[in-house]
Amino acid sequence: MLDRGVISVVRTTSARTALTLARGVARTGVVGVEVTMTVPDAVHVIATLVDEGVDRVGAGTVRTLAQMHACIDAGATFIVSPHLDADLVKVAVARGVPVVPGCLTPSEIAQAMALGASAVKLFPVSSVGGVAFVRAVLEPMPEARFVVSGEVTLPEVDDYLAVGAWAACIGPGLWRPDDVESGDVESVAAYAAEMLTRPRPIR
């Protein structure tokens, strides 16, 4: 499974901007680059990044077995879903690829863990209490490995990690839209690196 830290979620309206964004953030300290299936030609984006030697590239918003197989065949190193689907988890485990299904209730979390999920995506975490929710659920389930997602901001990352979350999914806070639209990979990388290393006091 990925190291603890920030997963950059790449969700753009074109394959071109997705590649610019992914190439930039991959040069920083993010522990994973998640290309969502809502990106046009997402599988091609993943395959291109893998061919270029970008590691830690995964697929997000994976909702069907066909999508999952296509992403793994393209070289995705982890699979993230917005929901819990037992078949998706079982097949990913069988193919030896870490899978992170979306869950919210303790029952869903327990089921995902029993199926062999590498971690559980708490989604949408901000809508159900954020840090306080993670702390509350981990108390009776300390063995759970949570990836928090859903309007999580960079200033909140260390708060989540401090209470026991494994990783946090971050979207637009890591880049400037103008850099992405212009195709400026260097500027994307520099800005993302600055945002990731900027001091964030734990509240």
For residue 195, the model assigns a pLDDT of 94
Active site residue 34: yes
Check 52, 90, 108, 121 and give the catalytic one: 121
Check 34, 52, 186, 194 and give the catalytic one: 34
For residue 55, the model assigns a pLDDT of 87
- Model's pTM, two decimal places? 0.94
What are 5-17's pLDDT values in tens digits?
A: 999 999 999 999 9
Q: State both tokens at 19.
A: 């590649």
Active site residue 90: no
For residue 201, the model assigns a pLDDT of 56
Give the residue ranges of the chain where pLDDT is below 50: none
